[in-house]
Amino acid sequence: MKKFVNNLYKNQALFYKVFLFALTAVLIVYLLPKGGNFKYEIPKGKPWQYENLYAPFDFAILKSEEEIQDERQQIINNHTPYFQFNQEIPIEVKSEVPEVVPEVFPDSIFNNREIQIIGFVNETLDDVYEYGLLQANNRLEDNQLVYLRKGNEAFEISYKNILKQDQVRDFLNSEIEESNLAEFENELLEVFFNLIEPNVSFDSEFTQKELQSKLDNISYTRGNIEQGSRVIARGEVVEGNKYNILRSLKNEYESQVWSESNYKWIIVGYSVLVALALLMLLLFIRKYRQEIFENNVKVTFIFFNILFMVMLTTLVVNFNIDYVYVVPLCILPLTLKAFFDARLGMFTHVITVLLLGFIVPNSYEYMFLQIIAGIVTILTMSELYKRANLFISVGQITLVYIISYFAFTVIQEGNIADVEAEVLLTFLLGGLATLFVQPLIYIYEKIFGMVSDMSLLELSDTNAKLLKELSEKAPGTFHHSLNVANLAEAAANEINANAMLVRVGALYHDIGKMKNPTYFSENQTSAVNSHDELAPKESAQIITDHVINGIEIAKKHNLPDRVIDFIRTHHGTTTVYFFYMKEKEQNENAVADDFRYPGPIPFSKETAILMMCDSVEAASKSLKEPTAGVIDNFVEKIINKQMKEEQFLNANITFKEIQVVKKILKRKLKNIFHLRVEYPE
């Protein structure tokens, strides 16, 4: 049991990666659509390249989106509106006639012609309310048929039969002129205007309900294909009705209800493919990015980004498939390039696009566009911390999207008339969303504790608080750090190392000297040496402690681990040679380990470069009469000694690259000492 626990503890990093791998695969499979995938691509406007296709089951032919929209529009245009007829208002109006008429007509006239006047008023009101008086004109055509609802019954009439309010005066004048009461026109008009009320109104609720009922009953299919019928033959062009039939077959195939056993097999198939894709990524990292593979935080970061992009794309596809290109997928290679390198960013991007092919429609077109956009992202984005570069890169990415979409449309449709402005707009929105990469990188730095070039640029500012403190407490060390930074940056550029990282590492590598600045020769301003009163071991202890002190100060000021690595390794496991030899003069049994730096030795190109530049720059102050030959021998001697002591054994730097660094250091030192060619006398 104890052995098992020990093995578990030793291999905990590996077990974590297996767990992370399995968890990511499960979550991605959960997000994928759970239906059968149609095994054929439908190449619209191109010949059918596969074997003759026969219907595997009965299925209905789906109408095209255009046909459905036309049918909907036709229903809307031909829909008959409903008007509500209030039957109580005419009754109430007629009941008020005996009261209103006497109030308008003088008694002498009313008493003589009461029956005639009241009879005319009632007959006219019957004519007014035969089809009703409309409350508001709906501006329909006069010949438009409408439904007039009286209670639970509806009658189809012409819209012109309904009297409108603006037509009432003309109607009444006409009726009065045709009667034998024309001499009382003004009195009769006053009676009618006192009595008449609108009783017909547009029934919008019932009209909309009936319209929606008709729209809901639209059939989305036309005709059927029987099982065993030939759908398309090899070589036939996929267009028109053939295209609709193939689209219908694909839709039916992917949306049919699967049995439990089929569902399980689909899950198994998805799991195998997703696991295979993620395994390829993990193997790539293990083989070519060993330092990343050994860091669980970095592996988690990579897998999290893949899962995040799959999840975001799934949400957008479920919301509205038309917005799939709004998802800024190019953020993925940009982010990984900012924290790691371009090759890992591109490889991860391709794996992610392959996984997204299961989710999106027209997967070949989608994957082609996204892979091309990812390549453009990697090639054009050199320095993410420069805002202009980001905007230029986003512009190029958007342009590539648009050009690729234009080409696909021309291939599929045969003309440019079908290029949709809405799709071009989604590309623009996706490009703008890519600009979110900068705040996203900042968030990632805080969550995962990593450092990008943008943070390195901020740290390289010599007005930063910690560097300002170094320049005040240990001005000589600060000047030394600046010189080392310039040398290291030049060397890194020559061998394609991370110049920004090594420059920042050089600026902070000696911050531990702030604790006892006068014990270091570059900060001594008088002839008095602080080491004169100390034993060699004590002096060596103070010198070596500046590494430990530097790490403590760096952590206190929240410097990134990648920068602290330079403080740890810039002396490796070398010895403080001056005090070791001094001790040896006094004691032949002196132990070199008592004068050795704690290490570790450099483990990257950048930390190796800093060790070389730091040693050369510091020792160069001891050169009395430097000449070109002296400097060449001086640089060779220092770096060869470091190589002999196996200080670069763990760093991924080659002999050729070390020779290039030597060459740069020699040239820079000659410039510093202002050496010129010696002319013969």
User: What is d(CA 601, CA 573) in angstroms, rounded to the nearest whole number?
Assistant: 6
For tokens 């479920």, the residue is 318
User: What proportion of the chain, given as a percentage, has pLDDT over 90?
Assistant: 23
Please report the pLDDT score of residue 285 as a whole number.
93
Reported as a single tens digit per residue, the pLDDT across 112-153 is 777 888 888 888 888 888 888 887 777 788 888 888 888 888
Indicate the length of the chain as a whole number: 681
Beta-carbon contacts of 91 under 8 Å, excluding residues fewer than 6 positions away, are none
Reported as a single tens digit per residue, the pLDDT across 629-643 is 888 898 999 999 999
**Confidence class for position 420, pLDDT limits 50, 70, 90:** confident
Q: State which amino acid sits at residue 422.
A: E
**Confidence class for position 382, pLDDT limits 50, 70, 90:** low
In this predicted structure, the answer to whether residue 530 has a pLDDT above a threshold of 80 is no
Please report the pLDDT score of residue 412 as a whole number.
65
Please answer whether residues 344 and 285 qualify as being in contact, where contact means their C-beta atoms are separated by less than 8 angstroms: yes
Please report the pLDDT score of residue 679 as a whole number.
47
Strands 230-232 and 53-54: antiparallel
Strands 153-158 and 145-150: antiparallel
Cis before 600? omega within 30: yes
C-alpha distances in Å from residue 434, one per residue of 24, 357, 377, 515: 24, 21, 11, 45
**Beta-bridge partners for 134:** 164, 200
φ/ψ region of 44 (left if φ > 0, alpha if ψ in -120 to 50, else beta) reads beta
Please report the pLDDT score of residue 261 as a whole number.
57
Please answer whether residues 474 and 582 qualify as being in contact, where contact means their C-beta atoms are separated by less than 8 angstroms: no
For tokens 């003589």, the residue is 112
**Confidence class for position 257, pLDDT limits 50, 70, 90:** very low
Beta-carbon contacts of 80 under 8 Å, excluding residues fewer than 6 positions away, are 145, 146, 147, 156
For tokens 């109430």, the residue is 92
Mean pLDDT of 300-307: 94
C-alpha distances in Å from residue 133, one per residue of 104, 130, 401, 437: 23, 9, 60, 65
In this predicted structure, the answer to whether residue 626 has a pLDDT above a threshold of 50 is yes
In this predicted structure, the answer to whether residue 675 has a pLDDT above a threshold of 90 is no
CA 582 to chain centre: 62
pTM: 0.62
Q: What are all long-range contacts of 414-417, with beta carbons under 8 Å and residues at least 24 apart?
A: 414/45
Tokens of 334: 């940009």
Give which of 564, 580, 667, 572 is closest to 614, Cα–Cα.
572
Max avg pLDDT among 15-29, 350-364, 445-459: 15-29
Q: State which amino acid sits at residue 600.
A: P
Please answer whether residues 201 and 136 qualify as being in contact, where contact means their C-beta atoms are separated by less than 8 angstroms: yes
User: Listing from the earlier edge strand, what are the strands of the sheet with 200-202?
Assistant: 153-158, 145-150, 82-85, 200-202, 133-134, 163-164
Please, where in the chain does CATH 1.10.3210 lie?
453-672
Please report the pLDDT score of residue 655 as a whole number.
92
**Confidence class for position 10, pLDDT limits 50, 70, 90:** low
In this predicted structure, the answer to whether residue 76 has a pLDDT above a threshold of 60 is yes
Please report the pLDDT score of residue 277 as a whole number.
94
Reported as a single tens digit per residue, the pLDDT across 446-490 is 888 788 777 888 888 888 889 999 999 999 999 999 999 999 999
Give which of 369, 391, 305, 376 is closest to 340, Cα–Cα.
305
Give which of 447, 445, 471, 448 is closest to 458, Cα–Cα.
445
Q: Is 10 exposed, middle or buried (CB count within 10 Å of its CB: 0-12, 13-18, 19+)?
A: exposed
Of 363 and 308, more confident = 308
In this predicted structure, the answer to whether residue 107 has a pLDDT above a threshold of 90 is no
Radius of gyration of the chain (CA): 44
User: What is d(CA 398, CA 406) in angstroms, rounded to the nearest whole number?
Assistant: 12
Please report the pLDDT score of residue 272 as a whole number.
93
User: What is d(CA 334, CA 345) in angstroms, rounded to the nearest whole number?
Assistant: 7
Give which of 659, 667, 673, 664 is closest to 627, Cα–Cα.
673
- 67: helix, strand or coil: helix
Please report the pLDDT score of residue 508 as a whole number.
94
Q: State which amino acid sits at residue 523.
A: N
Q: What are phi and psi of 299, to 5 degrees?
A: -65, -40
- 41: helix, strand or coil: coil
User: What is d(CA 570, CA 555) in angstroms, rounded to the nearest whole number?
Assistant: 17
Just give the CATH number of 453-672.
Answer: 1.10.3210
Beta-carbon contacts of 78 under 8 Å, excluding residues fewer than 6 positions away, are none
Mean pLDDT of 614-625: 84
For tokens 């699967």, the residue is 258
Of 587 and 284, more confident = 284
Sign of the C-alpha dihedral computed for residues 321, 326, 327 and 332 taken in this order = positive
- 150: helix, strand or coil: strand
Tokens of 440: 């996203």
In this predicted structure, the answer to whether residue 2 has a pLDDT above a threshold of 70 is no
With the CA atoms of 564, 566, 569 and 575 taken in that order, what torsion angle do they form, in degrees rounded to the nearest 10?
Answer: -110
Reported as a single tens digit per residue, the pLDDT across 403-415 is 888 787 777 666 6
User: What is d(CA 669, CA 673) in angstroms, rounded to the nearest whole number?
Assistant: 6
User: What is d(CA 480, CA 491) in angstroms, rounded to the nearest whole number?
Assistant: 17
Mean pLDDT is lowest, of 184-198, 351-365, 378-392, 418-432, for 378-392
Tokens of 335: 């982010």
Reported as a single tens digit per residue, the pLDDT across 488-509 is 999 999 998 888 899 999 999 9
Element containing residue 221 per DSSP (H, E): strand 221-225
Please answer whether residues 315 and 307 qualify as being in contact, where contact means their C-beta atoms are separated by less than 8 angstroms: no
Of 307 and 402, more confident = 307
User: What is d(CA 605, CA 597) in angstroms, rounded to the nearest whole number?
Assistant: 20
In this predicted structure, the answer to whether residue 567 has a pLDDT above a threshold of 90 is yes
Element containing residue 565 per DSSP (H, E): helix 561-569
Mean of all residue pLDDT scores within the chain: 83
Element containing residue 176 per DSSP (H, E): helix 168-178
